[in-house]
Amino acid sequence: MKDIIQVDTYFDGDEYFSEGPYFIIITEESIEAIVAKKEVSDSFLLHTNINLIKAAFAMPGLAEGHAHLFLAGEELDFKKRSSYLKSDLSTFIEVGKENLRKSLESGITLVRDAGDIHGVNTILRNGSNGSLPRVRSAGKALRKKGRYGSFMGVEVESNEDFTTVIEDLAVNADELKILLTGIIDFERGEVKGVPQFELNELKQISTVCKKLNIRNFVHCSGKDGLELAIDVGINSIEHGFFMEEQMLTRMCDKNMEWVPTFSPLHFQLENPKLAGWNQQSQDAIRAILDNHYKMVGKAGEIGLHVIPGSDAGSYGVEHGKALLQEIVHLVKAGLPLLQVLHNATILVRKKWDYPLNHIRKGSKESFVLMDKDPFTAIQNIYSKKSIILGSPKPALAIL
Ligand SMILES: [Zn+2]
């Protein structure tokens, strides 16, 4: 008995194949072969003892580049959101599991969690036992005493030796998150306060990470913080609002990457009444987003690696669906869909050291089937999905 998946078109992780139909032949171990219908005789499907599944389109499982699994983005009541933060660990874990389920439903097979102070992301990673999605965890973040990020980061003091703190954090984390700046003051249209760390401090953090051989990334927006992160050559800048063109070139030279997280700000702009934004704040948000679209477009042109990540769990940003929205934002910014999907599948796995998930002969990785092809119309990215599970649970298991 063989499972054969018939698709009209597919994206293998690098290339788009549009001259189908194609048959993806699956054995218990892996993809045995992919053949175009025109290459086989009409009796091909009659000859073998097969289980045929049809879909419009197939692509490798997506990676969500920036999420907070312990938070539910769809909770819009501010009071409920802040009282939820006082919940017990088991509640956080249950919410996290539900968010993972939602992610899988949207075709996500790897979630990079950008950290929480309870270490829920690490617990979810360790407890997954090979089930999907896999979790990449940032554990607990690093922040300066009294500064932004109490729900994400442990505190360090100025002039402290950060080595042992980072060593401790690294035990439970796949990479180190640094809270470099605060949040944006929308009424003033700028980032609140000065960066949390000074140049020599950030250099020290980066040096310790290199010694421990773990990657690092910064929560960072605004000129001062961005300049610092680029000077030091932090691996990834997350959010990065108020980006400037000269910074993009420098990031490219230093082989850095950018996770622009359009979704939270986009939600605020679409729903100004929920957060109570006046006209001035709405104008400021629009201006910030306009610059963001422009800079992401430029980043694509110069070949800077832009990683899709939605900041799911933030206000109004729902796990799963938000990554698909983020993909649409990146395409709107001018990045080709092929590039965006490549970055969300193959590129991140290369960078983060996970098995590559091309849809190719020999692959044992999970992939996604869809009812419609996003290459014919970007809105199709939201079409219904099912997952073909790879090893360690081989062969067909559809959601
Ligand atoms: Zn975040």
| Per-residue pLDDT tens listing for the chain (399 residues) | 778 999 999 999 999 999 989 999 998 778 999 999 988 887 777 766 788 899 999 999 999 999 999 999 999 999 999 999 999 999 999 999 999 999 999 999 999 999 999 999 999 999 877 788 999 999 999 999 999 888 888 999 888 889 999 999 999 999 999 999 998 988 888 998 999 999 999 999 999 999 999 999 999 999 999 999 999 999 999 999 999 999 999 999 999 999 999 999 999 999 999 988 999 999 999 999 999 999 999 999 999 999 999 999 999 999 999 999 999 999 999 999 999 999 999 999 999 999 999 999 999 999 999 999 999 999 999 999 999 988 755 555 555
Compute, in angstroms, the gap from residue 69 CA to the centroid of ligand 1: 10
Q: What is the pLDDT of residue 151?
A: 85
Class of domain 2-60+357-388: mainly beta
- What tens digit of pLDDT does each residue of 73-122 get? 999 999 999 999 999 999 999 999 999 999 999 999 999 999 999 999 99
Nearest CA among 207, 208, 169, 174 for reference residue 349: 174
Task: State residue 273's pLDDT score.
Answer: 92
CA of 176 to the centre of ligand 1 (A): 13
The CA 239 to ligand 1 mean position distance, Å, reads: 8
Residue 231 Cα to ligand 1 middle (Å): 22
Model pTM? Answer: 0.95
* Distance between Cα 76 and ligand 1 center (Å): 17
DSSP bridge pairs for 95: none
pLDDT of 44 reads 76
Quote the ligand 1 centre to 205 CA distance (angstroms).
20
Identify the pLDDT of residue 48: 63
| Residue limits of CATH 2.30.40.10 in the chain | 2-60+357-388
Please give the radius of gyration of the chain, using alpha carbons only, rounded to the nearest integer. Answer: 22
Rounded Cα–Cα distance for residues 225 and 182 (Å): 9
Q: Give me the pLDDT at residue 397, please.
A: 54
Task: Quote helix, strand, coil % in the chain, to nearest 5.
Answer: 40, 25, 40
What residues sit around ligand 1, an ion, with C-beta below 5 angstroms? 114, 311
Beta strands in 235-394 (DSSP E): 236-239, 257-259, 305-306, 367-370, 385-388
Q: Under CATH, what is the fold of the domain 62-352?
A: TIM Barrel (3.20.20)
Give 255 Cα–ligand 1 centroid separation in angstroms. 22
Between CA 174 and CA 64 the distance in angstroms is 15
Ligand 1 centroid distance, CA of 311 (Å)? 5
Buried/exposed code over 271-305 (b: 16+ C-beta within 10 A; e: otherwise): eeeebebeeebeebbeebbeebbebbebbbeeebb
**Distance from Cα 309 to the centre of ligand 1, integer Å:** 9
Say if CB 334 and CB 37 are below 8 A apart.
no
